[in-house]
Amino acid sequence: MASPLRSLVEDDERYLKSFQLFLERSSEHQCMHDFIQGILPGELASVGDGKAELNVFGVGSGSGDIDLEMFSQLRQKHPSVTVDNQVIEPSSQQIHNYKVLLSKTPDLDYIKFTWNKNTAAEFEQHWKENKMSKKADFIHMIQMLYYVKDPDATVRFFQSLLDKNGKLLIILVSGRSGWGKLWRKYRRQLCNTEISQCVTTRDIKSGLESQGVAYRSYALPSHLDISECFVEGSEKGELLLDFLTEVLDFSRTAPAELKAGVLEMLRQPDCSVETDGKIIFNNSLEALVLDPLP
């Protein structure tokens, strides 16, 4: 049964506001930073196979801050190459934010940016209709597979675009995170059936394994302070609840029984720990790295 609640993604302004608060209250960018600094360079060392120009696809690049961190590592591993970067992002506001970031960031002359205001599905359709044959050396899909109809098919398509020695990086919430526990219990009530809102790396790994596709997995421990969710009438708590449930105005529109059940679940040891008077949610992520299809 489809959820009668409205999806947060229907309101771009509120989504971005709740996402920004989520970043402020979580260690998500820090755990990604640690991965990009510590593990990703080893994965990027072999991409390109000696080419002078590397093709990069950012699928759901958002405001670009993570992209630029990865470009910094790519540059260190391949200091003499130029980069053709395809930005695939459906939000006009996020593309604007990305361009503003570029205007403030020096020494990016080696990168050519092409802006595709598309969803992943729209980009795939355009690619196939135009019979494009370009191959990619590095494709990243960070926290975006929640917003596609068929994550397994999306992964297969972009993996098919990898050139020799190319790498596809996927980062999603871990199946062992609080998100995974919450979604397993309340998937029917909360999750938008038009997209794959409640997907975790557990689902992606299961799909890859069923096709015999190899991958490398890296844990990215992360946490989120959700204490404000339990303060009645807190505007920031309501925004965080919207983000946690991906439901627009969850506090005001969810049935009382569902709201109480979600709040109770969020406090359970499977999802969170209480420390120093704060409720800390398990926001752990996982990175999967795929090589080209044989």
What is the structure's pLDDT at 156? 97
Q: Stretch 251-270: mean pLDDT, rounded?
A: 95
Q: What is the bridge-based pairing of β-strands 136-142 and 162-173? A: parallel
Question: Percent of the chain having pLDDT more than 70?
Answer: 98
Mean pLDDT over 212-217 rounds to 97
* Burial of 44 per CB tally in 10 Å (0-12, 13-18, 19+): buried
Task: Write down the residue that tokens 């609080």 correspond to.
Answer: 178
Average pLDDT estimate for 133-159: 95
Distance CA 25, CA 259 (A): 21
pLDDT over threshold 80, residue 181: yes
The pLDDT mean for the chain works out to 94
The 10s digit of each residue's pLDDT in 39-61 is 999 999 999 988 999 999 999 99
Question: Does residue 38 have a pLDDT over 70?
Answer: yes
- The whole-angstrom distance between residue 223's C-alpha and the CA centroid of its chain comes to 16
Q: How confident is the model at residue 113 (pLDDT cuts 50, 70, 90)?
A: very high
Average of pLDDT values for 242-246? Answer: 92
For residue 49, what pLDDT is reported?
Answer: 84
Binning pLDDT at 50, 70 and 90, where does residue 233 land?
very high
pTM above 0.75, yes or no: yes
| Per-residue pLDDT, 1 | 41
117 burial (CB, 10 Å; 0-12 / 13-18 / 19+) is middle
pLDDT top residue among 184 and 18: 18
Average pLDDT of the residues in 120-138: 95
Q: Pick the residue with more confidence: 4 or 45?
A: 45
The mean pLDDT value for 127-148 works out to 94
87 contacts 63 by C-beta, under 8 angstroms: no
Binning pLDDT at 50, 70 and 90, where does residue 145 land? very high
- What is the predicted pLDDT for the residue at 189? 86
DSSP annotation of 26 reads B
More reliable by pLDDT, 56 or 7: 56
- Residue of 186, 247, 224 lying closest to 6 (CA atoms): 247
Please tell me the least confidently modeled range out of 2-6, 51-55, 69-73, 158-162: 2-6
Average pLDDT on 256-283 reads 96
So what's the pLDDT on residue 17? 95
| H helices present in 119-255, as ranges | 120-129, 151-160, 178-190, 201-210, 235-245, 250-253
Rounded-to-integer distance, Cα 29 and Cα 69, Å: 11
